[in-house]
Structure 1
Amino acid sequence: MSIVIHSQITAAVVENADAPQRDERRKALLGVRGLRKRHGDRLLFDIDVLEIATHSAYVLTGMNGAGKSTLLRVLGGLERAEIDSLRFAGEDVLRVHPYPRALRRAIVYVHQHPILFSTSVADNIGYGLVVRGFAPIAVEAIVEEAMAWAGVAHLADTDPAKLSGGEKQRVALARARVLQPRLLLLDEPTANLDGAAREQVLALIPTMVDAGSSVVIACHDRDLINLPGVQRLKLRDGHLEHR
């Protein structure tokens, strides 16, 4: 099973990277200059340039404590940092905290330990759509498709508290997917999952890229890091290396 799924992931990423419209699709989505984050007197990281292309996948690696999760939260607009300039989809972002509404809608962050409401799987997946004003009939159709995609349709009415770690991650990915993010930030999505659950989550990630999102994944997972077509960013000693 592992070999088959890993082959599917590789094929999806490589096929996406080699599409005829590659030049158009891989334009800069996010560009950040002069990104600095301090914890008190400590400078956690000082990044000269960070660029994320459209329709692309990245893994963000580094030692524990290097600031990977913090960097994802900064990029998601969830945490303050010093930023000299930020561009998104070719437009200058003049207010970096809080992000303007359009940027908040375009970027979705998924925590390593997703917070799910004590309602049902279906309600959790559809929550963002309801907040955005989608009609109930549209929410129902989109959620049904997302649950099928994530392999959790049989859990539609289940309280998330009863889910396994892998099921929670798949629900969180489905909840992100329905919002059609242009930039998806995933913090250790396969950490602490057993073999089968890990494989199921791994198989979903490249389909997000294929659907149009750029994905940045903070991880230590060698299967993600070594995938052909996935670019590597490494935080080392407060600086970002493009590898």
Structure 2
Amino acid sequence: MSVLLGVSKLRKRFGDRLLFDIDRLELETGRAYVLTGVNGSGKSTLLRVLGGLEPAEVGHVEFEGREVTLRPYPKALRNAIVYVHQHPIMFSTSVAHNIGYGLLARGEPKARVAEEVEQAMAWAGVAHLCDADPAKLSGGEKQRVALARAKVLKPRLLLLDEPTANLDGMAREQVIALIPTLVEAGSSVVMACHDRDLIGLPGVRRIKLRDGQLEFR
């Protein structure tokens, strides 16, 4: 597999505290990863740094073979990398509008947005919620809507922060079932989690963040 994203000398500090000092991070194209580590080790922060939502010190960054920066965060990465929060924020409109928002913000034609949204809702199993008030969705429904909202953007890299946290039963199983299809569609996926079923998905590679360093397994 080719390297999608390569980052060297990545450091994150909070005041005098050094959260992590990563010599080298490489993510391959079309590969799924789980990022594990104890609470407070910096998993979520690392995802936010890669997603352009958090500043950090960095030496060298390559994306799809081209040198880029993380600060300022370039449009090429903004369009290619999508971060999904553990507790997704929903706009007070409708489920369909939430899913299509990113495409509309990019200036895509409304007809194409409607088609993409319809397909994404079917994929995520939320078509019956098309006109529903997002504030009334369950945790599992919000997570699936958030994944559909990410999927329509066709990200090269998808960063998922605890995608099954606080979910149980059918809701958790539905979210887990969507992950392999994202990889099959061509996205690389990094999931910060402790979920043994996500860690055990076929083809998933484990990365552990411990004492500020990354261990690939």
Q: TM-score, normalised by structure 1?
A: 0.88
Q: CA RMSD, aligned part only? A: 0.6
1:57 matches 2:16: no
Equivalent residue in structure 2 for 1:175, among 143, 149, 152? 149
Equivalent residue in structure 1 for 2:177, among 203, 222, 225? 203
1:220 matches 2:194: yes
Residue segments in structure 1 that go unaligned for 5+ positions in a row: 1-25
Partner of 1:233: 207
Equivalent residue in structure 2 for 1:190, among 164, 174, 185? 164
Partner of 1:107: 81
**Percent of residue pairs bearing the same amino acid type:** 75
**Counterparts of residues 31-110 of structure 1 (less than 5 Å):** 31-93=6-68, 95-110=69-84
> SS at the partner of 1:96?
coil
Shift of the alpha carbon at 1:194? 1.5
> SS at the partner of 1:202?
helix
> SS at the partner of 2:58?
strand
CA distance in 2, matches of 1:144, 1:235: 38
> SS at the partner of 1:52?
strand
CA distance in 2, matches of 1:103, 1:238: 25
Letter of the structure 1 residue corresponding to residue 28 of structure 2:
A
Equivalent residue in structure 2 for 1:166, among 109, 126, 140? 140
Partner of 1:14: none
Q: Per residue, is there more helix in 1 or in 2?
A: 1
Residue segments in structure 2 that go unaligned for 5+ positions in a row: none
> SS at the partner of 1:83?
coil
Shift of the alpha carbon at 1:84? 0.3
Deviations 1:70-98 (A, max 9, x none): 000001111000000000000001x3223
1:121 matches 2:72: no
Deviations 1:145-179 (A, max 9, x none): 00000000000000100000000000000000000
